[in-house]
Structure 1
Amino acid sequence: MSENPELILMRWLIDAMNVIGSRPDGWWRDREGATRKLVDQVSAWAGDEPVTVVLDTGPDDLLGTVGSVTVVRAPRRGRNAADDEIVRLVETDPDALVVTSDAELVSRVRALGAAVEGAGTFRRRLESPP
């Protein structure tokens, strides 16, 4: 859960592959496993905070909402598909906090008014004891 009181009511939008790829821990050998691990970590961390995890691809059984965490897949495949979906979500909720280290996506969502947290910082947040 967020330690910063200003972030409590913000909706978190997570660029899943950017967060997964932020650490060279062998995730590329098991993308599905890495995706499941991230969703599990986010679910354990989120508490009541609204979080949307945006996937490029991933197993169907992860899609949907459990508690305050919603997992969605980009509606199309291809380059920047998840980024475009995150931008679309920010357009509907410009007070969102986007988790990514993708410079182009950072620029796009900041232009719409969203706050940004880097993928590495977010991973450390997930791995910190409460």
Structure 2
Amino acid sequence: MTEEREAAASAPPVVVVVDVANVMGSRPDGWWRDRAGAAARLLERMPRLATGAAVTLPDGAHVAISRIVAVVEGAAKAASAPEGIDLVRAPADGDGTIVEEAARLAASGEPVLVVTADRGLRARLAPGVRVAGPGWLNDLLGR
């Protein structure tokens, strides 16, 4: 067993909920010209992490990503997600959907990490939900 597999096997699982709009907006790569295309390109990078990847959180904790839930809103709702990524299309605002999804997952006993830089959204999350900024995820995705 490789060191990476051993680390993943011993790390506690976490569901990562991604604020796709916020992560897309963290890199000025022209995303505003084609939001659905930019969302699709971002989502295409995620599946390799959704298979139990062992990662270190910004607070130094080691976890294994059990799955990724990506929340899209507005024009980005036209994007499709690759296999292995749970795509949630927000019926209204993405922040409200992220808060609801994180609360639902946490209530079911799953540890949750929300990826966003939005301070207002962070303040609305249930106690115990961890948070990381877009830079953390961008680094893992090599973007």
| TM-score interval for Structure 1 and Structure 2 normalised by the shorter chain | 0.7 to 0.9
1:47-102 C-alpha deviation (Å, 9 max, x unpaired): 24211000013354616x823x10111022xxxx1110111012112221000000
Q: TM-score, normalised by structure 2?
A: 0.72
Structure 2 distance, partners of 1:75, 1:32, is 16
Aligned counterparts of 1:60 and 1:34: Cα–Cα separation in 2: 11
Name the aligned partner's letter for residue 48 of structure 2: A
The 1-side partners of 2:30 and 2:38 are apart by 9
Per the TM alignment, residue 121 of structure 1 is displaced from its structure 2 partner at its CA by 1.5
The corresponding residue for 1:102 is 118
Q: d(CA) in 2 for partners of 1:28 and 1:56?
A: 13
Match of 2:70 in 1: 53
Instruction: Say yes or no: does 1:87 pair with 2:99.
Output: yes
- Structure 2 residue 87 is matched with structure 1 residue 71: yes
Aligned counterparts of 2:44 and 2:35: Cα–Cα separation in 1 = 14
The answer for the alignment partner of 2:133 in structure 1 is 118
- More moved, 43-52 vs 116-125: 43-52
Q: Look up the match of 2:41.
A: 37
CA separation in 2, counterparts of 1:59 and 1:92? 21
How many residues were matched structurally? 119
CA distance in 2, matches of 1:99, 1:28: 20
Identity %: 34
In the alignment, does 2:80 pair up with 1:62? yes
Residue identity matched to 2:142 = E
Is residue 36 of structure 2 the alignment partner of residue 19 of structure 1?
no
> 3-state SS of the aligned residue for 1:66?
coil
Distance in 2 separating the partners of 1:90 and 1:21: 21
Listed as ranges, the gaps of 5+ residues in structure 1 are: none
Partner-residue secondary structure (3-state), 1:51: strand
Contact 1:91 1:112 in 2 (8 A): no
Structure having the larger proportion of residues in strand: 2
Root mean square deviation, CA, Å: 2.4
Unaligned runs of 5+ in 2: 53-65
